[in-house]
Amino acid sequence: MKKIIIVLTIMLTATFANAQEADKAKALLDQVYTKVQSYNNIYVDFKFDLKNVEAGINQETRGDVTLAGNKYIFNYLGSQQLYDGKKVYTIVPENEEVTIEDKSDDEDAMTPSKMLTFYKEGHNYAWDILQDIQGRKIQYVKLTPIDSDTEIKSRLLGIDMGTMHIYKLIETGKNGTKTTITVNSFKTDEVLSKTLFTFDEAKYKDEGYFILRN
């Protein structure tokens, strides 16, 4: 009986400690979310790494995104994606093509508009490692999707404890693919052009672009 009581005590203590760690992780992410929501607009320049050893994939590139409310303009792999709050416009200069479509409702997709707020719901949280990167304290929180049918195994979100901004996102898929987004530059409340999130269809037609509506 004494051994059973000891085992139960250990189990209850571990469960309580894990619950405390989860609460601490959620509290940190709530601080980050509040900070992000306080800005009128955000500009992020980032590095993007995609790796899958079994598939022989190892890609590295850079991109940037400007967000204001639910609108964004996203530059990546030589193309530009614009969301004006109603439609998504994907502009590919190499092909002289513009695709116009509705915004995706895919909950797993890491769209620009969700890049800084995706962690707010749909995950279980766990406190993870603390890294010192050139004098910056980066605290990681592990996010495990609640939905077991998702293709995402886990996500690690690195928070700069000095600024309460997101520094790194490491996403691991169930197929072994690892996606890492590292923030190089994070700017807030910049002066933006009033037409930054406006798509000028006439301009692209004049330049000979093919306009495709999905």
Q: Which residue has the tokens 């571990």?
A: 14
**Pairing of β 178-188 and β 210-213:** unpaired
Long-range contacts at 57-64 (CB < 8 A, ≥ 24 apart): 57/177, 62/184
CATH 2.50.20.10 assigned to domain 1-213? The reply is yes
How far apart are the C-alpha atoms of 123 and 108, rounded to whole Å?
Answer: 12
Identify the pLDDT of residue 14.
39
How far is the C-alpha of 58 from the C-alpha of 108, rounded, in Å?
A: 22
Reported pTM: 0.84
Looking at residue 113, its pLDDT comes to 73
Gap between the Cα atoms of 91 and 84, Å rounded: 14
Ranges of the chain with pLDDT below 70: 1-19, 105-110
The first and second tokens of residue 129, run together, are 């490692």
Give me the residue label for tokens 């269809």: 201
For the chain, the domains span 1-213
Question: What tokens does 62 get?
Answer: 């850079």
pLDDT at 167: 96
Dump pLDDT digits (tens) for 137-184.
999 999 999 988 889 999 999 999 999 999 999 999 999 999 999 999
What's the rounded Cα separation, in Å, for the pair 127 and 125? 7
Instruction: Please choose, from the candidates 70, 76, 98, the residue with its C-alpha nearest in 3D space to the C-alpha of residue 201.
Output: 98
